Amino acid sequence: MCGHREDAEEVAQETLLKVFENFDQIREPERVRPWVFRIAKNACLMKRRKSVFAPAVELSLDQLMPVRTNADGRVAIEIADWSALPDDLLLKAELRDTLATAIGELPEIYRAVLLLRDLEELSTQETAHILELTEDVVKTRLHRARLAVRQKLDQQLRSPHGATAGKSKQGG
Amino acid sequence: MFALLSDYLDLELPPEACQEIENHLAGCSPCVDFAESLRKTVELCRRYRPSELPSPLGTHAREELHAAYQKMLAARRA
Among A36, A53, A79, residue at a domain's last position: A79
CB nearest to B48's CB, from A82, A119, A150: A119
- Distance between CA atoms of residues B44 and B49, nearest Å: 10
From the CB of residue A150, how many other CB atoms can be counted at a distance below 10 Å? 24
B22 and A CB contact within 8 Å: no
Nearest to A40 by CA among A24, A59, A21, A19: A19
Backbone angles phi, psi at A79, to 5 degrees: -150, 140
- Distance between CA atoms of residues A40 and A115, nearest Å: 13
Q: A15 and A51: one domain? A: yes
Asked whether residue A42 is assigned to any structural domain, the reply reads yes
Q: A24 and A42: one domain? A: yes
SS3 (DSSP) at A117: helix
Asked whether residue A172 is assigned to any structural domain, the reply reads no
Q: A19 and A94: one domain? A: no
Nearest to A10 by CA among A35, A54, A46: A46
Give B-chain residues touching A89 at CB under 8 angstroms: 40, 44
Q: Which residues contact B31 (CB under 8 A, 6 or more apart)?
A: B1, B24, B25
Give the model's pLDDT for residue A48: 66
DSSP state of A73: S
Q: A60 and A2: one domain? A: yes
Nearest to A157 by CA among B9, B10, B71, B41: B41
Give DSSP secondary structure letters for chain A: --SSHHHHHHHHHHHHHHHHHHGGG---GGGHHHHHHHHHHHHHHHHHT--TTSPPPPPPHHHHS-EEE-TTS-EEEEE--GGGS-S-GGGSHHHHHHHHHHHHHS-HHHHHHHIIIIIS---HHHHHHHHT--HHHHHHHHHHHHHHHHHHHHHHHHSTTSTTTT--EEE-
Q: A133 and A161: one domain? A: yes
What ipTM was estimated for this complex? 0.73
Mean pLDDT for the stretch of residues B11-18: 92
pLDDT digits (tens, 9 = 90+) for B17-57: 999 999 999 998 888 999 999 999 998 898 887 655 555 56
Asked whether residue A38 is assigned to any structural domain, the reply reads yes
Among A79, A109, A144, residue at a domain's last position: A79
SS3 (DSSP) at A133: coil
Residue A165 to residues A102, A152, A155, A156, A158, Cα–Cα distance (Å): 20, 15, 10, 9, 5
How many helices (H) and strands (E) would you count in chain A? Answer: 7, 3
Q: A120 and A133: one domain? A: yes
Q: A61 and A101: one domain? A: no
Q: Which domain holds residue A151?
A: 83-166
Among A13, A47, A79, residue at a domain's last position: A79
B60 and A CB contact within 8 Å: no
Check CB contact under 8 Å for B61 and A13. Answer: yes
Asked whether residue A119 is assigned to any structural domain, the reply reads yes
Asked whether residue A171 is assigned to any structural domain, the reply reads no
Angle at A133 between CA B50 and CA A24, to 5 degrees: 75
B14 and A CB contact within 8 Å: no
Check CB contact under 8 Å for A82 and B6. Answer: no
Q: A114 and A161: one domain? A: yes
Give the model's pLDDT for residue B41: 92
Give A-chain residues touching B3 at CB under 8 angstroms: 61, 143
One-letter amino acid at B74 equals: A
Domain tally for chain A? Answer: 2
Asked whether residue A155 is assigned to any structural domain, the reply reads yes
Give the model's pLDDT for residue A166: 44
Q: A63 and A100: one domain? A: no
Check CB contact under 8 Å for B38 and A147. Answer: yes
CATH number of the domain residue A157 falls in: 1.10.10.10
Nearest CA in chain A to B13: A139
Q: A88 and A68: one domain? A: no
Q: A46 and A65: one domain? A: yes
Asked whether residue A1 is assigned to any structural domain, the reply reads yes
From the CB of residue A63, how many other CB atoms can be counted at a distance below 10 Å? 11
R_g (Cα) of chain A, nearest Å: 19
pLDDT digits (tens, 9 = 90+) for A145-170: 999 999 999 988 887 765 554 445 55
Interface test with A, best of B13, B25, B33 (most A CBs within 10 A): B33
Q: A71 and A88: one domain? A: no
Asked whether residue A160 is assigned to any structural domain, the reply reads yes
Highest mean pLDDT among A40-44, A119-123, B65-69: A119-123
pLDDT digits (tens, 9 = 90+) for A18-50: 887 777 777 777 778 888 888 888 887 777 655
